[in-house]
Every structure is written in structure tokens, then in C-alpha cells.
Amino acid sequence: MIGWMRQHRQAIAAALAKLAGQKSAGLASALVIGVALSLPAGGYALLESLRALARGLALDPQLSVFLHVEARRVDADALGARLKADSRVAQLRFVPKEAALNELKTAAGLADVIGALGRNPLPDAFVIRARDTRADALDALAADLRTLPAVAHVQVDAAWARRLAALTGVGRTALLLLAALLAFGLIAITFNTIRLQILTQRDEIEVSKLIGATDAFIGRPFFYLGLLQGLAGGAVAIAIVWGGIALLNAEVRALAESYGSEFRFAFLSPAHTLAVLLFSGLLGWLGAFMSVSKYLREIEPK
């Protein structure tokens, strides 16, 4: 057992020595792996943030009911009474056109433009919070409300959020495909770098076989080399994603604040970070395994 652990320790030391020996080549393949992996990992991080945003919005069961611009206050009052009686309505808020105009003036700094209009272009509106928050119930309520007199337009605020959620679902599948393709690419990269390592160490391998090294002993440093290269690539990918999101958030902050939102892209969770590392390490190991099983056997002393 102690001997076994010592052999693995020696194999890791040998792998590190190999890694140090190849210097720029090892660094280059770690970079290639990192850049390739950062695409699906970064895409996933962005998508997860959007999904969280869409989920939050889709839960908001809010409908906006806009009246015709020329509708009078009595029409609005009649509609209000009717809505209040509707059992599907949990909460009702009336936004008179004057209040909407004032809000627009102060919020968006359009006072001059609006002043030049002469008359209020905004309609009266009701904001409704529905009792049943399921998507089809909201749609049915909206359809009913559209048939009422004096109603010009009904907007289900959650609809675009639902569309966003559906869109992120498509994005997720696309990212999965991309990740699967790149995984094959990464295995191929490691396969090839390990193959080159094996060929440059042909003499050592041949002599080792001649004087009694087992295939397992000879292969072990290469497995660790593949694993380390994969892990290094994963670390590079995480660094790229981290830097990229930090950079994006600097811009997103300004944009989100203009919408009164706190939205920021979230970094990969610790579990996902670990998953990226393990995944890339595994791919590296797999590439090394394939390379070792193919090329180590071909080197036989004569």
C-alpha cells in the first residue's frame, strides 16, 4: 500500500517534471483547452443569469389594461367597478393619465418634449394582479379583458419573460451541443500532446520496458500529465469566464440601472466551477488514456 502510494507520488512528480520540461508547449495546450472550454462555461454562466431573471419576471402575475385615449373618466370608473367585482382579480390599481404623464416627466426627463405636445397623449390604465398566476389563466383573463368596452390594449407583463425563458431553453440545448463537440476536441488535443510526449520519450520507454518496467508504471506519468493539463485548461477557462463576466457587468450595471434593475450576470457557482474543473480534468485523463493505450504498446524493444 505504501509502495503503491509512493509509485503514484513518483508518477505525479514525473508528470510535473514533464510539464515543466515542455514549458511553452504545455502552457499552449492548457491555453487552447481553456479558451475552448470558456465558450460553453461562459455561455452557461450568462444563460443561467438570464434564466434567473426570466424566472423572477414570469412569476410576476401582472396585467396592464390600457383604455382608449379618448375614454372619459366615467368609462374608467365603470370599468374599475367591473374589474373589482371580477373574482380572478386579486388586486387593482388605477393609474390616471395625468399621474402617468407626471411620472413620465420626472422619470425620463422628457418635460420639454411633453410640454411641447400640448395635450396628454397617454391613456388611463389599470394594473391588475391576478389571483391565478398560471400562464394559461393569465392569457384567458387577458382575452376576456380585451372584449370589455373602452379597453384599447391588454398587456400580460409576464409574456415576454416567458418568451425569454423559452429562448434560454433553446440556448441551453445549443450550449450543450457546443460543449459536447468541444469535449471531443479537447480529448483530441490531449491525445495528440500525449502522443508527442510518448514519441519524444521513445528511448526512455523502450529502455524501461527492456529492463523490467510494467506498462502501468510507464503509462502512469502520462495519465497524470493528461489530467494536469486538463485541470490547467479548466482553470484557464474559469479565469476567462470570471474576467469576461466582470468586464460585462461593468457595462451591464449602467444599462440595468437605467431600467431601475439590479440585474448583474452571476459568476459560476462553486459547484459549477468544480464541475468545469473535474470535467476538463476527466477529458484530459481520457485523452491521455487513449493515447497511452494506442502508442505505448507500439513501442516494443527489439
213 binds another protein (CB under 8 A): yes
CB of 253 to another protein, least distance (A): 55
206 binds another protein (CB under 8 A): yes
Q: What is the DSSP letter of 148?
A: S
Q: Can you tell me the distance from the alpha carbon of 94 to that of 158, in angstroms, rounded to the nearest whole number?
A: 19
Contact pick of 74, 85, 170, 211 for another protein (by CB under 8 A): 211
Pairing of strands 125-130, 89-95: antiparallel
Segment lying near another protein (by CB under 8 A), choices 39-47, 141-149, 208-216, 252-260:
208-216
301 binds another protein (CB under 8 A): yes
Q: Can you tell me the distance from the alpha carbon of 260 to that of 207, in angstroms, rounded to the nearest whole number?
A: 70
CB of 24 to another protein, least distance (A): 18
3 binds another protein (CB under 8 A): yes
How many residues touch another protein under the rule CB under 8 A: the total is 20
Who contacts 138 (Cβ-Cβ below 8 Å, separation ≥6)? 61, 63, 130, 132, 156, 158
**CB of 214 or CB of 261, closer to another protein:** 214
Segment lying near another protein (by CB under 8 A), choices 98-106, 179-187, 212-220, 232-240:
212-220
101 binds another protein (CB under 8 A): no
Distance of CA 184 to the CA centre of its chain: 21
Distances (CA, A) of 32 to 142, 146, 204: 52, 56, 28
Please say whether the beta carbons of 65 and 152 come within 8 A: no
For the chain, the 3-state helix, strand and coil shares in percent, each to the nearest 5, are: 75, 10, 20
Segment lying near another protein (by CB under 8 A), choices 81-89, 207-215, 258-266, 271-279:
207-215
204 binds another protein (CB under 8 A): yes
1 binds another protein (CB under 8 A): no
Please say whether the beta carbons of 155 and 73 come within 8 A: no
Contact pick of 109, 115, 118, 212 for another protein (by CB under 8 A): 212
Please say whether the beta carbons of 280 and 237 come within 8 A: yes
Q: Can you tell me the distance from the alpha carbon of 124 to that of 72, in angstroms, rounded to the nearest whole number?
A: 9
210 binds another protein (CB under 8 A): yes
User: Contact positions toward another protein, by CB under 8 A?
Assistant: 3-4, 6-7, 10, 203-204, 206-215, 217, 301-302
